[in-house]
Structure 1
């Protein structure tokens, strides 16, 4: 299709060349009228009159001659278009290039060059670089060029920057829209104030910062070292500050600032007849200027966490906002302590884009050590860094006041040294390394101590076991187990034959220290039973702490139940408990920390839903199915989860799913088909009808919940979402499409080509089998796992599901899941009365 388009375009261009006046140069003896062309000598670029879209407005501009689509790189009269075809471009008596209307003397645009040599003739010529130049004939001096007045496009060998003496400032400005070249609200320019840097502005304020020059690149563009098609020239002297990209080969390449506030670099691929983009900015949340406010650092690689952190010595100005993941207020000095006292120093923040340098001072005669001393002598100095990467870290940058727009990179960036007071400094200072002999000695002693302690504990356990047998020979030591929960213990009289394990007890002081005293910055989420915090133990291990609220609906019974059950369960698709803490009036569970949070944060987020493709979604669904199968059939206890939903599926670093939240789980006997309860717990929208309405729970209740979850994984929509303004839930929507034979509409379009259509349709059918109205019709989880793993097995046709339509009455809306109260990231559920 592109080849045909290119052929048509080439024939059209050939026709225009034949019927139009085609010039190589423009002098005072000729004129370019609408329909005539000015072509560069190598036929790389063409200048002529053209219109945009369906408009009758005419512009004079430059575009690529050899590209199959009219790609405009420069316009003369972008602010003053001509109506109709009455325009003409010529050189006037003063030697200026002027655009006017032939029907009158009205000048639309002019080069407006003031020259004392006006008695000499001039010539205009379009170069193969795309530069339109105006030359004085007698000495061939360029007195004006279009490269000094760019529009939205940067071409190779075009400069961005400032001529200090004349005040000429070359910068890019976006169009208002694809069909309106009038200057828009985005511009890309060099800011010479303070220490020179390059910024993208939107609506007159910084939007993205390329940063300061480090010797090889802009500090905010680490990819520049991989721009192999360019020779980059940066000039910083009393005459000029500018940047120029020279193309190494004959590649057709350009950079454009568009109306939405995005910079795009691309090259023309002649074989495919299209532009191929190889770089753009901004890329992520941390690229946006001042994303986290002053005195903060933005780290987009904090997987599953808030990307904003305060710089050393600072704390959030508004902890409430940071809890809500809004860091725009930034950070202030911790405790309001000033930084001009004895004993203060600097903390290194590695691999960052250094802060906004518009208020920074540069001293190129100081090395890094001298830079530190200079900053320390000045009470208003807040940070320092090396200005250059290419000179071995020499040259000095010093900041005063707030530090704005700092962000972290993974494998590049500079070191920033932030000033902190004497109280703050020890918190960040690393312990001095011990000598090798001392380290070896400590390791040996530690191992021996551990072995002796283990032997002692083992002997003590054997002795207790023998004592217990001697006192009660009728009771086997395998029929009871004790799970330590703080000062209390829970006796488990289950029939589990072996494999019980004690749950380690954590001291309250240890948990408080790991979570920074339950800091709001460590909070991962909040639900009906309390809050969940991230913690880091002294050995570096990351943990998740579920801290029950003192007024929580989950009492000691549910707390003990969760510990008792999950301590016995060991499966790769179940969250792992590390311990618990019951001290004073605190009740806490300590789990493994899973960095990617819960499944719902990916499925129902417009941006994050793009990350798990179909293969990963299928793997997540299969993993959840295997975890449920273990609970129902393969574990030592038969367990009904009773609160399976997307927010209770946690994801580890590799996006492997782990079922969490066993506070509402229930143990069934091996011969027990179902149970009754007078208290219904869980989340509406995932509840089976027999459980929600009659309190009858069984393993088939979990199967129903899995079916809803599977449909959500495929569609990327909550079960409570409305479809086409009808009262149908996701389950009802999928059922109606199934009956019509049009289930493809259920599939999340954001998965694109990664989705295997046949496999997705098969999963929809499995989901509908799981949500059938009557429990006996639903498959068990062993059958579900088998169906998911064997695509050649013929599936039965599903029967009508429950809750096809959503009730309009509050309280009876059993099929909705409008942001369930357990909106936390770890293991907190919602209690619902019948």
Structure 2
């Protein structure tokens, strides 16, 4: 009997263990913390888990075959359990529930299927697709599935969208942070109004959209052309609007993730290297951001005039002055002299575009494109039309017409679709050439021929210059000679060789940089700025580097490149970023810097989650470090340098949070005792520019002082100067108002614990910041005075005067200078009196 009892206990324990090694949870069974079930092919696992070092417990699904834990679905994402007492079991009504403890009566999460039948054979099954399903194992009928309730991850064969039969609208929602799977404020869903399209929202703000479905892909996702990986199914009818991404090869492990920063990314698991490889993301550039160019504008990232926004044919800037300042947010309006309902108009064809937002378009899928044109002509309210499916097997199909303002149009180099805008005859000639006379055609032909002849002459001249330059370069060491170079490169190389020979600046070969950055792989990309993208790399000796790669569509160019090389190679200071070398080869122009792991200052101070890490001692250290770096530029270096683009994103932080000033592409060198200059080309970042520079093109060392003052105020408050605060024009105005009322202490960042700082020290820094942003440059202290004030406590600081950009800036009509009071008997403008010839914001 004793032997039989022991044998019975052994068999029972095996039976219990088998419940949790299977892929199902039976109606009468439960799953406690520590138990896991696996899908039939062991691809996915379901159970309790924690993230990182957190002790909070969640219930979810993750990859079982992937070495690094990758969670794809979370049940109790907003209600974590504080310990390991959690339990998963069926309720009496048949719902699968998560309880905070084994004795809990109310679940913290439930499948919540209202019409659940009391079927005792009901089970929860985890499939090899990663789908947790509640079903009747006899009939196979499904009552609930996790695929209908996505979190931040879309797996192959999951649907996104709406089905009327069960009333389910499948929406992706981001996590709050990488360590918190709670519901974030980024959502991604199908917009069913008008003509369907996918839309991403940040809170209630539309952030990015895919464009409409063209028949094979979304019009705003030109990368959806790989038919060897994905089998895409799009359904649009009165009962269902949805999209499914399947995979042809079941061995391919891939997922799409909506992250907490507002980026949609696709990854593929690399089994050899044991890591996820990102191969697509959106939004990717300025033109992807929703409505970047305002009403009736369109965005062209390849624009040659350094501003990506233009008005659609037949429209003009609503506020020309704002467009001159590279701000298209006010959009475009119909050209006043144009008439579009007089029988003499036609349609201008805009090629390769993501057509405007289709939420309010009229749709008719039963007429041809030609019939669509005629229908639009007969309706005076119709402003544009396009085909619905322009990539169907039978060519263009269906008709979309717009009847008001058009939003979020952009162009592509080799994808997109044709878009037709209603314009008057004169505009039609300019865009299409339709209706132009024979003389006009002849004139255009002659202009084209003349351009070809001039191009040939220039090419011949460049060829001769190249050959002469190449003969000279052949005498140089082989490590300095590029495989191919253009005329402009030859002049740069001449300067760089001199620097390299004097050990000022090493030259890197392109092959070395490509190997270090994994051929400029997406996962190595650190970010992008006015210069172009920045990549992390590792040299063969193990040294980490950051590589700035000049983009062809960069807002900066060769002058800025040469300027940065010339300047930063001569500068050595603890608080300036250190350049290691550069590369000029083929059409590539790159700068190689030391790698700083903590990114830039704006990464911390403008993000609530990261800003918590900055207590007051760290912020004070950053302020003092930036001040010492600027003082070195203005006074202690061999050259007197004005940076001209000091801002939070141009201050990098090393692993000890020591600040390093970066990006000297816009800096100016002064000699001797010169401390100021002027320009007709204002460049920099609005919000950090001093008034005399932004308005009159006058810059000096006091321009940098103003920018530093803005930085101090942003570091103390954790807020951007360029935003609006309680009806104030900007952060400076907001702080000044509180200062005058004696309430300045209220603007100190609430994320700083009060026991980590001395209020008097913070208020002293605030005082110094206000001194630096005074309107008149002569009133601002120089950087040596600022460093002294920051380093000494027992000093009396002068009272700050009215700061800049807190009201309209006034001008003295007689002298042209700024004045706080109009002279007797004179009048003048009270708003920005701009006299610039070119303004370039970055």
TM-score w.r.t. the length of structure 1 is: 0.55
Matched, 1:166 2:195: no
1:142 & 1:386 partners in 2: Cα distance?
A: 39
2:102 & 2:212 partners in 1: Cα distance?
A: 48
1:434 & 1:72 partners in 2: Cα distance?
A: 65
1:25 & 1:288 partners in 2: Cα distance?
A: 44
**Contact 1:574–1:659 at 8 Å: present in 2 too?**
no
Matched with 2:410 is: 407
Q: 1:429 offset after TM fit, Å? A: 3.9
Matched with 2:420 is: 417
Residues 409-443 of structure 1 show CA distances to partners (whole Å, capped at 9, x for unaligned) of 0001111101113454343341679999x989x98
Matched with 1:47 is: 46
Matched with 2:461 is: none
Matched with 1:729 is: 632
Q: 1:656 offset after TM fit, Å? A: 5.5
Query: Are residues 406 and 606 of structure 1, via their aligned partners in 2, closer, same or farther at CA, if it must alter by over 3 Å?
Result: closer
Query: Are residues 268 and 87 of structure 1, via their aligned partners in 2, closer, same or farther at CA, if it must alter by over 3 Å?
Result: same
**Contact 2:324–2:839 at 8 Å: present in 1 too?**
no
Matched with 2:111 is: 111
Query: CA RMSD, aligned part only?
Result: 4.8
Matched with 1:373 is: 374
Structure 2, unaligned runs of 5 or more: 1-15, 457-486, 492-526, 538-551, 571-589, 595-599, 601-622, 640-649, 655-663, 674-700, 706-771, 785-833
Of structures 1 and 2, the larger Rg is shown by 1
2:453 & 2:420 partners in 1: Cα distance?
A: 25
Residues 567-625 of structure 1 show CA distances to partners (whole Å, capped at 9, x for unaligned) of xxxx96999xxxxxxxxxxxxxxxxxxxxxxxxxxxxx97023459999xxxxxxxxxx
SS of the residue aligned with 1:48? strand
Structure 1, unaligned runs of 5 or more: 1-16, 451-535, 542-570, 576-604, 616-649, 661-684, 689-711, 737-747, 753-763, 775-802, 816-820, 828-834
1:822 & 1:574 partners in 2: Cα distance?
A: 36
Matched, 1:240 2:240: yes
2:636 & 2:412 partners in 1: Cα distance?
A: 44
Matched with 1:362 is: 363
Matched, 1:210 2:113: no
Q: 1:381 offset after TM fit, Å? A: 0.9
SS of the residue aligned with 1:60? strand
**Contact 1:722–1:729 at 8 Å: present in 2 too?**
no
Matched with 2:300 is: 299
Q: 1:659 offset after TM fit, Å? A: 12
2:270 & 2:448 partners in 1: Cα distance?
A: 63
SS of the residue aligned with 1:70? coil
Matched with 1:607 is: 529
**Contact 1:95–1:121 at 8 Å: present in 2 too?**
no
1:344 & 1:822 partners in 2: Cα distance?
A: 39
1:52 & 1:25 partners in 2: Cα distance?
A: 25
Q: 1:92 offset after TM fit, Å? A: 2.6
**Contact 1:295–1:404 at 8 Å: present in 2 too?**
yes
Matched with 1:619 is: none
Query: Are residues 92 and 192 of structure 1, via their aligned partners in 2, closer, same or farther at CA, if it must alter by over 3 Å?
Result: same
| Structure 1 stretch displaced more, 223-232 or 361-370 | 223-232
**Contact 2:19–2:25 at 8 Å: present in 1 too?**
no
Superposition pairs of residues 742-781 of structure 1, within 5 angstroms: none
Matched with 1:287 is: 288
2:63 & 2:536 partners in 1: Cα distance?
A: 40
**Contact 2:297–2:409 at 8 Å: present in 1 too?**
yes
Query: Are residues 50 and 734 of structure 1, via their aligned partners in 2, closer, same or farther at CA, if it must alter by over 3 Å?
Result: farther
Matched with 2:147 is: 147
Q: 1:228 offset after TM fit, Å? A: 3.1
Q: 1:395 offset after TM fit, Å? A: 1.4
Query: Are residues 749 and 185 of structure 1, via their aligned partners in 2, closer, same or farther at CA, if it must alter by over 3 Å?
Result: closer
Q: 1:771 offset after TM fit, Å? A: 10
**Contact 1:122–1:134 at 8 Å: present in 2 too?**
yes
Matched with 2:619 is: none
Superposition pairs of residues 109-508 of structure 1, within 5 angstroms: 109-115=109-115, 117-226=117-226, 228-249=228-249, 250-335=251-336, 337=338, 339-391=340-392, 392-430=395-433
Q: 1:42 offset after TM fit, Å? A: 1.1
SS of the residue aligned with 2:124? strand
Q: 1:362 offset after TM fit, Å? A: 1.5
Q: 1:296 offset after TM fit, Å? A: 0.8
2:90 & 2:180 partners in 1: Cα distance?
A: 27
Q: 1:722 offset after TM fit, Å? A: 9.4
**Contact 2:163–2:240 at 8 Å: present in 1 too?**
yes
Query: Are residues 658 and 825 of structure 1, via their aligned partners in 2, closer, same or farther at CA, if it must alter by over 3 Å?
Result: farther
1:446 & 1:180 partners in 2: Cα distance?
A: 60
SS of the residue aligned with 1:107? coil
SS of the residue aligned with 2:216? coil
Residues 517-565 of structure 1 show CA distances to partners (whole Å, capped at 9, x for unaligned) of xxxxxxxxxxxxxxxxxxx999999xxxxxxxxxxxxxxxxxxxxxxxx
**Contact 2:63–2:69 at 8 Å: present in 1 too?**
yes
**Contact 2:44–2:64 at 8 Å: present in 1 too?**
yes
Residues 121-141 of structure 1 show CA distances to partners (whole Å, capped at 9, x for unaligned) of 211111111100111133111
Q: 1:245 offset after TM fit, Å? A: 0.6
Matched with 1:697 is: none
Residues 77-117 of structure 1 show CA distances to partners (whole Å, capped at 9, x for unaligned) of 11222221221111233322111231221211111223363
TM-score w.r.t. the length of structure 2 is: 0.54
SS of the residue aligned with 1:728? helix
SS of the residue aligned with 1:725? helix
Q: 1:361 offset after TM fit, Å? A: 1.5
Q: 1:394 offset after TM fit, Å? A: 2.3
SS of the residue aligned with 2:371? helix
Residues 358-407 of structure 1 show CA distances to partners (whole Å, capped at 9, x for unaligned) of 00121111111100001111111110001112231221111111111000
2:431 & 2:453 partners in 1: Cα distance?
A: 14
| Structure 1 stretch displaced more, 403-412 or 96-105 | 96-105
Query: Are residues 539 and 367 of structure 1, via their aligned partners in 2, closer, same or farther at CA, if it must alter by over 3 Å?
Result: farther
SS of the residue aligned with 1:38? strand
SS of the residue aligned with 1:52? coil
Count of equivalent residues: 517
Query: Are residues 540 and 198 of structure 1, via their aligned partners in 2, closer, same or farther at CA, if it must alter by over 3 Å?
Result: farther
Q: 1:41 offset after TM fit, Å? A: 1.2
1:573 & 1:276 partners in 2: Cα distance?
A: 34
Q: 1:253 offset after TM fit, Å? A: 0.5
Query: Are residues 611 and 143 of structure 1, via their aligned partners in 2, closer, same or farther at CA, if it must alter by over 3 Å?
Result: closer
Query: Are residues 368 and 107 of structure 1, via their aligned partners in 2, closer, same or farther at CA, if it must alter by over 3 Å?
Result: same
2:534 & 2:256 partners in 1: Cα distance?
A: 31
Q: 1:65 offset after TM fit, Å? A: 0.7
Q: 1:20 offset after TM fit, Å? A: 11
1:572 & 1:260 partners in 2: Cα distance?
A: 39
Matched with 2:815 is: none
Residues 193-216 of structure 1 show CA distances to partners (whole Å, capped at 9, x for unaligned) of 011111111112211010111000
SS of the residue aligned with 2:147? helix
Query: Are residues 156 and 733 of structure 1, via their aligned partners in 2, closer, same or farther at CA, if it must alter by over 3 Å?
Result: farther
2:437 & 2:404 partners in 1: Cα distance?
A: 38
SS of the residue aligned with 1:375? helix
2:264 & 2:536 partners in 1: Cα distance?
A: 30
**Contact 2:57–2:84 at 8 Å: present in 1 too?**
yes
1:538 & 1:64 partners in 2: Cα distance?
A: 63
Q: 1:238 offset after TM fit, Å? A: 2.4
Q: 1:351 offset after TM fit, Å? A: 0.7
Query: Are residues 812 and 120 of structure 1, via their aligned partners in 2, closer, same or farther at CA, if it must alter by over 3 Å?
Result: closer
Matched with 1:76 is: 75
2:57 & 2:781 partners in 1: Cα distance?
A: 63
Q: 1:655 offset after TM fit, Å? A: 5.8
Q: 1:19 offset after TM fit, Å? A: 13
**Contact 1:163–1:240 at 8 Å: present in 2 too?**
yes
